[in-house]
Structure 1
Amino acid sequence: MVPGEESILSNLRRGALEYCVLALLRPGARYGLDIARALGADGILMSGEGTLYPLLARLRKAGLVETTWQESTAGPPRRYYALTEDGERALATFTRAWHPFRDAVDAALEQRAEPT
């Protein structure tokens, strides 16, 4: 990684990670490790599980996700996280804001210096 890149990624994650979690839950409930694997697959969105479980707890406390326990054939019961109606609304609001924001950032990054 280039010096400073981790700091930039950390700041970008801070604003978007919770909405990425909500988006992963849109199709249906998932358990924590499954969410961690999906978010950490490329090493960009999440670098380790240490931030995920406190984030899931905050989302639950905010009423954006709800949890249930389900038996597992591969070990102890698992806590599954599902999107609530408030979580759906928060994700929809973020999506509406994200697209023009992303486009504006892309446009700024693609600007070329004007010849003098």
Structure 2
Amino acid sequence: MTYKGSCHCGQVAFEVQGEIPEVTSCNCSICQRKGVLMWFVPPQAVALLTSPEHVGSYMFNKHAINHRFCAACGIHTFGEARAPNGDPVYAINVRCLEGVDLSALKVQHFNGRAL
């Protein structure tokens, strides 16, 4: 399945291919504040549909995750990191995807505060 996603103002738009088996809710200092529900996919499943110049970047602590957001409206659309096995991975904010019933998703809770 192909999902279309975007920030609030539309300056960051993307498509992502795949099925959403579950999402992750993290309680670390940044995820808790953003309220994201993350779906992890390989980079080749994601296509940016707008200019990369509109995508902001924020890294903190160990600089392991590149938190990406719209430079205009501030909405966090995805993050870029490495999976535990070392493979690159995107963490898609499913709250930015069209047509997803958030109440139907299985949510895994991750204790990011413990890292």
TM-score of the alignment, normalized to the shorter chain, above 0.5: no
Structure number with larger C-alpha Rg? 1
Normalised by the length of structure 2, the TM-score is 0.25
Normalised by the length of structure 1, the TM-score is 0.25
Q: Which of the pair is proportionally richer in helix? A: 1
